[in-house]
C-alpha cells in the first residue's frame, strides 16, 4: 500500500477539522458582532438612549437584540459582555445570565415584523458549536423552523422524554439528541446548564455541541443538541434547522 494511503481515520478527521476551522475562522471578520455590540449599540444606548443599530439594548439583563442581514425574519440575541460561545465556562456558572430566556421573550418581534401572528410551534432558538459558527461572540439565533423540520418534530416529539435520548430521526441529515423540559421557565432550566450537565456526565466537551430550543405539539419545550461528527459532515450547527424567511408563516 502506498504511504500516501496509510493515514488513520483519526488523522483524517483531525486534518478535516483543521481545514474546517481555517475555513470558518480564516475568512471574514470573526469579531464583527462583538464590535457592533461593544462599539456601537452599548455606548449609544448608555450615552444617548439610542439602541441603533441594535433593536434592543438591555443593560440590566446584559444582552442586545440585533436583526441579522440573513433573511427577513432572523434575529440574534448577543451578550453585552465578551462571551465567545457555547464553550464559555461563564454560561455554566451559578449566577450565569439566562440568555435563552431573554431570547425566547423576544420572539414576538418576529410576528411584529411578519405583520401576523406566528405560533410558538413554528419558532426556534439555536446556538452553533465552536466549530460550526463564524463569529467569536456568543449569539443565539431566533427564527422559524424549516417546514420539513417542523413536520418531523410533529411526528417524533411525542416520544421525547425528560432524559436526553436520540431523537429517532435525522434533521437535515444529522443525528440529534432531544430532551423535554419540565416547564416553561428557562431561567430555572437554563438550556446551557441542562446540556452542560449531560456533557459532563459523558466526559465530553460542550464546545462540540450545537443547541436548539423548539416547542412540541401541546406546548412543552424541547431541547435539541447535535454533536460535531466529521464522518457525517456535521459541524454541530443547530441553526441548520431554521428558516430565516419563515415559509411556515406564509
Per-residue pLDDT reduced to its tens digit, 117-155:
999 999 999 999 999 999 999 999 999 999 999 999 999
Residue 9 has pLDDT above 60, yes or no: no
| 58, part of any domain | no
Is residue 60 in some structural domain? no
69-124, pLDDT tens digit by residue? 998 999 999 999 999 999 999 999 999 999 999 999 999 999 999 999 999 999 99
Band of pLDDT at residue 240, cut at 50, 70 and 90: very high
Look at residue 184 and tell me if it is in a domain: yes
Positions of E strands within the chain: 56-58, 63-67, 74-79, 123-127, 140-145, 165-166, 177-180, 209-215, 221-227, 242-243
pLDDT at 156 over 70: yes
Q: What percent of the chain has pLDDT over 70?
A: 89
CA–CA separation, 43 vs 49, rounded Å? 9
d(CA 83, CA 89) in angstroms, rounded, equals 9
Residue 146 belongs to a domain: yes
Q: What is the CATH classification number for the domain harbouring 116?
A: 3.30.428.30
Looking at the domain assignment, is residue 48 inside a domain? no
Residue 19 belongs to a domain: no
pLDDT at 44 over 80: yes
* Average pLDDT over all residues of the chain: 91
> Per the structure, how many domains does the chain have?
1
User: Is the bond into 53 cis (omega within 30 degrees of 0)?
Assistant: yes
Percentage of residues in the chain having pLDDT higher than 90: 86
Domain that holds residue 237: 65-74+83-249
Domain assignment present for 109: yes
Half-sphere exposure of 80 (CA within 13 A, CB side): 21
Position 18 pLDDT exceeds 90: no
Strand partners, 101: none
Q: Are 103 and 93 a contacting pair, CB within 8 Å?
A: no
Identify the band that residue 14 occupies on the pLDDT scale cut at 50, 70 and 90.
Answer: very low
What is the rounded CA–CA span in Å between residue 189 and residue 187?
Answer: 5
Looking at the predicted structure, is the pLDDT value of residue 201 above 50? yes
In a domain, 200, yes or no: yes
Weakest mean pLDDT among 19-28, 34-43, 187-196: 19-28
- The confidence score (pLDDT) of residue 7 equals 40
Mean pLDDT along residues 193-213: 98
What is the rounded average pLDDT of the residues 196-211?
Answer: 98
Q: Mention every residue, 6+ apart, whose C-beta is less than 8 A from residue 197.
A: none
Amino acid at each position: 500500500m502506498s504511504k500516501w494511503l496509510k493515514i488513520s481515520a483519526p488523522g483524517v478527521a483531525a486534518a478535516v477539522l483543521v481545514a474546517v476551522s481555517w475555513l470558518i475562522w480564516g475568512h471574514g471578520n470573526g469579531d464583527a458582532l462583538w464590535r457592533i455590540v461593544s462599539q456601537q449599540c452599548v455606548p449609544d444606548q448608555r450615552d444617548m438612549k439610542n439602541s441603533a443599530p441594535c433593536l434592543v439594548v438591555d443593560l440590566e439583563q446584559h444582552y442586545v437584540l440585533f436583526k441579522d442581514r440573513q433573511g427577513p425574519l432572523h434575529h440574534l440575541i448577543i451578550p453585552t459582555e465578551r462571551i465567545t460561545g457555547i464553550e464559555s465556562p461563564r454560561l455554566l456558572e451559578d449566577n450565569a445570565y439566562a440568555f435563552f430566556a431573554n431570547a425566547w421573550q423576544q420572539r414576538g418581534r418576529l410576528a411584529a415584523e411578519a405583520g401576523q401572528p406566528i405560533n410558538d410551534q413554528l419558532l426556534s432558538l439555536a446556538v452553533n458549536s465552536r466549530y460550526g459558527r463564524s463569529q467569536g461572540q456568543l449569539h443565539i439565533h431566533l427564527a422559524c423552523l424549516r417546514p420539513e423540520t417542523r413536520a418531523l418534530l410533529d411526528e417524533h416529539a411525542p416520544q421525547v422524554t425528560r432524559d436526553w435520548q436520540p431523537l429517532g430521526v435525522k434533521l437535515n441529515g444529522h443525528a440529534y439528541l432531544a430532551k423535554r423540559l419540565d416547564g416553561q421557565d428557562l431561567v430555572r432550566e437554563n438550556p446551557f446548564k441542562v446540556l452542560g450537565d449531560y456533557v459532563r456526565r459523558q466526559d465530553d466537551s460542550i464546545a462540540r455541541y450545537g443547541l436548539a430550543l423548539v416547542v412540541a405539539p401541546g406546548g412543552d419545550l424541547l431541547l435539541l443538541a447535535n454533536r460535531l461528527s466529521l464522518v457525517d459532515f456535521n459541524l454541530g450547527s443547530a441553526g441548520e434547522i431554521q428558516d430565516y424567511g419563515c415559509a411556515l408563516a406564509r
